[in-house]
Amino acid sequence: MKIVEYPDSEMMMMDLADTLASELKNCLLTHDHASFAVPGGTTPGPIFDQLCDVDLDWSRVHVMLTDERWVPESSDRSNTRLLKERLLVNKAAEAVYVPLYADAREPEEKLGALSKTLTPELPVSVMLLGMGADMHTASIFPGADQLDRALNGDDTLLAMRAPGAPEPRITLSAKVLRDAMSRHLVIVGGEKRAALERARHLTPQEAPVAAILPGTTVHWAES
């Protein structure tokens, strides 16, 4: 694991957007298409705002989420909505969107179909992850009902329910996260930095983010 520290989060978001864009461009030099997985939540919006205006052959970039809250797109908790409003606009509107949500009451009803659409995108070329102060990443939460399977199984995608998550989730498995060709984790603030340091000494069962730290570049700014 490598940690890159920035003077402030504005600089971090700009720099990280540049890094992600150049990794995508490099990937497109040698591949027909690049797959790009991004988190939802509150942190990545400013990165999306930068990236959506970058000149690259977006029509060959396949964009997906690392995880989704099982809520309709009309909900302000929908990561799909965030993606469509902040990343898949301007130049990036040309990108191919690979969904992680479909209209159904429970994620299990759509798991098979969504996994099938994802399979041709693996391994993910460029991955950006977020982390919660409880040390979850994607929607692999401590204490989740399918934690062991998400950490150790062969699935691509899992439905998850966890005490720390207000709605059911769907998430890429730790295997898919680990198999990504390039992986970045973005965190802001002292609380998350302390959680990251704690996670380094805990097991993935206790701190799911620990499962993906080896080989990950962590980007951190205090505020």
Interface with ligand 6PG (CB under 6 A), residue from 69, 183, 184, 219: 69
Structure-block tokens of residue 213: 């730290």
Residue 20 CA neighbour count, 13 Å, CB half: 33
Is residue 41 a contact residue for ligand 6PG (CB under 6 A)? yes
Is residue 9 a contact residue for ligand 6PG (CB under 6 A)? no
> Least Å distance between CB 45 and ligand 6PG?
9
Is residue 132 a contact residue for ligand 6PG (CB under 6 A)? yes
Q: How far apart are CA 182 and CA 6, in angstroms?
A: 20
Q: Please choose, from the candidates 208, 52, 37, 61, the residue with its C-alpha nearest in 3D space to the C-alpha of residue 135.
A: 208
From the list 16-24, 64-72, 152-160, 215-223, the region that binds ligand 6PG by CB under 6 A is 64-72
Angstrom distances, CA of residue 52 to CA of 20, 55, 62, 74, 98: 12, 9, 13, 22, 16
Q: Please choose, from the candidates 85, 83, 26, the residue with its C-alpha nearest in 3D space to the C-alpha of residue 60.
A: 26
> Least Å distance between CB 175 and ligand 6PG?
17
Is residue 42 a contact residue for ligand 6PG (CB under 6 A)? yes
> Least Å distance between CB 191 and ligand 6PG?
10
Question: Interface residues with ligand 6PG (CB under 6 A)?
Answer: 39-43, 66-67, 69, 79, 130-132, 137-139
